[in-house]
Amino acid sequence: MQVIRSPKIIQKTSLALKRRGQTIAFVPTMGFLHEGHITLLRRARQAGDVVVLSIFVNPTQFGPKEDFKKYPRDMKSDLKKAAAAGVDFVFAPTPSSLYADSFETYLEVTNATRELCGQFRPGHFRGVTTIVAKLFNLIQPDIAFFGKKDFQQYAVIRRMVNDLNFPVKIIGVDTVREPDGLAMSSRNVYLNDQQRLAALCLSRGLKKIKTAVRGGKKDLKKLIGILQQEIKREPSVKIQYVKAVDKDSIQPLAVYRPGKTLFAVAVFIGKTRLIDNLVV
């Protein structure tokens, strides 16, 4: 496994691989790898001749009061896990190598970023699409893998790729959960034992929505209410949003659409922000 920090070198390496006709499978991450990331890497290993992993905590997707400086990092552990997962190249640039002082070009998806996290994190998705576009340009992947735990991000990247004709196939991978149902996230490390137990209300509530739909309930307000009620059982959990949107456009729905309805939730537990979702 080779670790590359220079954008010029990763671009030169990728172009050489493409000239040899090798398929590049790419997994972009902010590091602090957990089993969810490893699942993406395993899928990439099955799909490509060469697997490229990026590890970069992207400053442009963090707001001024968010946790950029405190975001968990452990490069030594990440590299060990990446090697075990069969990664061929790790691209781990510095912020200054990707964002020069004179940087002023950003890429933005409009409608799909207005709801859910986009409503509460202005500029977040502009940072996401800009860095992913830069990584696609440098690495030239044939296939890229994204986790559906960040479903809005997955939908936004698909829209960007479709609108701008990127020659990249985007694969979404289902959320990987702990045995008790908690969606895996790098930010889970912030939770103490009591907070982690309280966080299970998210997966419990989403599961109850799924059960209700299978039982014939289709009223969106009542279905959303099921999740809200479950969360409110935990006094330490503060709701930021609970919404039902179209899974492709991320626009609000007036009625339930089978297989197209994304129930999404964001909460704060202490200072830790967690998200979860389910397509029903």
Which residues are identified as catalytic? 37
Please state, in angstroms and rounded to a whole number, the distance separating the CA atoms of residues 196 and 96. 35
Could you give the CA distance from residue 197 to residue 201 in angstroms, rounded to a whole number?
A: 8
Question: Is 267 buried (19+), middle (13-18) or exposed (0-12) by CB count in 10 A?
Answer: buried
Q: What tokens does 159 get?
A: 């829209």
Per-state percent for the chain, helix, strand, coil, to nearest 5: 45, 20, 35
DSSP label of 139: H
* Cα separation, 28 vs 15, whole angstroms: 18
CB atoms within 10 A of CB 94: 11
How far is it, in rounded angstroms, from Cα 18 to Cα 167?
13
Beta bridge partners of 50: 24
Question: Could you give the 3-state DSSP secondary structure of residue 237?
Answer: strand
18: nearest Cα among 42, 46, 52: 52
